[in-house]
Amino acid sequence: MKVDRLVSIIMILLDKKRIGAQELAAMFEVSPRTIYRDIDAINMAGIPVHGAAGVGGGFEIMPEYKIDRKVFSTADLSAILMGLSSLSNMIRGDELVNALAKVKSFIPADRAKDIEIKANQIVIDLSPWMGNRNIQPNLEIIKTALRESKLLSFEYADRYGNKTTRTAEPYQLVLKNSHSYCQGYCHKRNDFRLFKLSRISNLQMQKEFFMPRDYQPPQLDFSDILATMQIKIKIRIHRAVMDRVVDYCTYEDFLPDGDDHFIVSFPFIENDYYYNILFSFGDQCECLEPLHIRTEMKRRIHDIATLYES
């Protein structure tokens, strides 16, 4: 249970008259069950949060409750500001703008400068440098559908570009490795699916409501599975691509090879995705061993060269 998330929820509840568990879950990228546990913890801490059921229901802090500004330390307020600022880069809206203003109103004048310095020590910007500009509008549509429990319809492209029409119940927004996803129950597959937003087109929120069902958040950590599938291959790289190669391994995997090159023990799975990673390094990377992977690289290079012979 994250203390900064609990404090952020308190601040949002102070700013809004009422907010639903689904909307809070989307904001903090956790399940609604986690939000319910957080609300229980906030109540146990002595802050009275009331839950209202039905359409337009949600959580709210009792109107009579007041918070002493001195209850938050400099570290508390700095953590809240950093957390809310990072959320505002992903999910825009008056809710987070108002929440930030509320937090800042709790900062005593004699601590304002110190808190501003600490809050600015970490910058989290989730917006892309370039790429699909439809993601931000789609985030807003999904956010509204999550809040109102409405169905979504869209076209979804698989990894090969094949499109299918989908209708889904949205349950969670997920940010993983700089990519945005929507966890939802797909009516076409009759199961939960993790939809990558960059593959979604023609997204529309339907008029129909859905009754939220029990679900498990998607599995996002595949470290143990990958450890059983990956092998280590030996590649030779130029220092020009070192900063990109290190995204997939650690500096301990690099051995100097002359002034400008390194020998790298590189994690690898024999599929198109990993071969394409190696190709993305261009002529600054050479696979040394094992022999059968080096041979396969040569075959693929030959096929690419054949495309340009005519």
Per-residue burial over 151-172, b if 16 or more Cβ lie within 10 Å, else e, is bbebebeeeeeeeeebbbbbbb
CB proximity list for 87: less than 8 A, separation 6 or greater: 27, 28, 96
Supply 78's token pair. Answer: 């700095």
CA 111, 113, 117, 119: dihedral to nearest 10 degrees? Answer: 60
Cα gap 53→289, rounded to integer Å: 62
Task: Express each pLDDT in 167-182 by its tens digit.
Answer: 999 998 888 777 788 9
Phi and psi, residue 61, nearest 5°: -85, 135
Per-residue model confidence (pLDDT) at position 119:
65
pLDDT at 143: 86
pLDDT for residue 291 is more than 90: yes
pLDDT at 43: 80
Identify the CA nearest to 59 among candidates 69, 47, 71, 68: 47
Please work out, in degrees rounded to the nearest 5, the angle formed at the alpha carbon of residue 249 by the alpha carbons of 247 and 251.
Answer: 100
124 neighbors 84 (Cβ within 8 angstroms) = no
Beta pairing partners, 287: 235
DSSP string, 87-144: HHHHS-SHHHHHHHHHHHHTS-GGGHHHHHHHHTT-----S-SSS-TTHHHHHHHHHH
Cα distances (angstroms) measured from residue 64 to each of 20, 48, 49, 60: 20, 9, 11, 11
Are 43 and 50 spatial neighbours (Cβ–Cβ below 8 Å)? no
191 vs 173: CA distance, rounded Å? 17
Binned at pLDDT 50, 70 and 90, residue 137 comes out as confident
Which residue ranges make up each domain of the chain?
3-119, 136-209, 223-307
Give percent of the chain above pLDDT 70.
Answer: 75
pTM metric for this prediction: 0.53
Start-to-end C-alpha separation, the chain: 61
Residue 297 has pLDDT above 70, yes or no: yes
For 192-204, give the secondary structure using H, E and C. EEEEEHHHEEEEE
Fold of 136-209: SH3 type barrels. (2.30.30)
The reply to whether domains 3-119 and 136-209 share a CATH topology is no
Tens of pLDDT, residue by residue over 8-62, are 787 777 766 688 888 888 888 888 888 888 888 878 777 788 887 766 678 887 7
Return the structure tokens found at 64: 């009579």
Instruction: Spell out the CATH class of 3-119.
Output: mainly alpha
Looking up tokens 């409405």 gives: 150
Burial of residue 51 (number of CB atoms within 10 Å: 0-12, 13-18, 19+): middle
Strand blocks (E) in the chain: 49-52, 58-61, 150-157, 163-176, 179-186, 191-196, 200-209, 231-238, 254-257, 261-268, 285-289
pLDDT classification of 95: cutoffs 50, 70, 90? low
